[in-house]
């Protein structure tokens, strides 16, 4: 049975920042990229362990990271409730060590 995917408020804010930046050049490109990101993230519903453990990225939190091109999607899996919580979506150049993820 597939997992349910939920986005935290910070993840939505991250998406807005990403899309606003891309839309400066092309609104259509921003819409296409949003679709691409959502299609990539929805794969977690069937394959929740697709991303690497955060510890492999030197983050001391119980989470995983899905790498999509230049972006890092930080998420947590709740096996009991079959939920995946998307915490942040950050560009790889962002110093995520000092950022609040969840």
DSSP per-residue string spanning 21-90: HHHTT-HHHHHHHHHHHHHHHHGGGT-TT-SEEGGGGT--SS-EEEEETTEEEEEEEETTTTEEEEEEEE
68 domain-assigned: yes
Residue 46 belongs to domain spanning: 4-94
Q: How far apart are CA 63 and CA 77, in angstroms?
A: 7
pTM: 0.91
> Which residue ranges in the chain fall short of pLDDT 70?
56-58
Question: Structural domain tally of the chain?
Answer: 1
101 domain-assigned: no
54 domain-assigned: yes
Convert the pLDDT of each residue in 19-35 to its tens digit. 999 999 999 999 999 99
In this prediction, residue 15 carries a pLDDT of: 96
């Amino acid at each position: 049975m597939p997992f349910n995917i939920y986005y935290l408020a910070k993840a939505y804010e991250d998406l807005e920042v990403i899309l606003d930046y891309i839309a400066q050049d092309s609104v259509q490109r921003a819409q296409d990229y949003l679709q691409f990101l959502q299609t990539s993230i929805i794969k977690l519903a069937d394959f929740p362990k697709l991303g690497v453990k955060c510890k492999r990225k030197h983050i001391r939190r119980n989470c995983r990271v899905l790498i999509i091109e230049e972006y890092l999607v930080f998420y947590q899996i709740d096996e009991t409730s079959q939920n995946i919580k998307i915490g942040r979506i950050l560009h790889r150049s962002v110093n995520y060590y000092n950022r609040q993820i969840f």
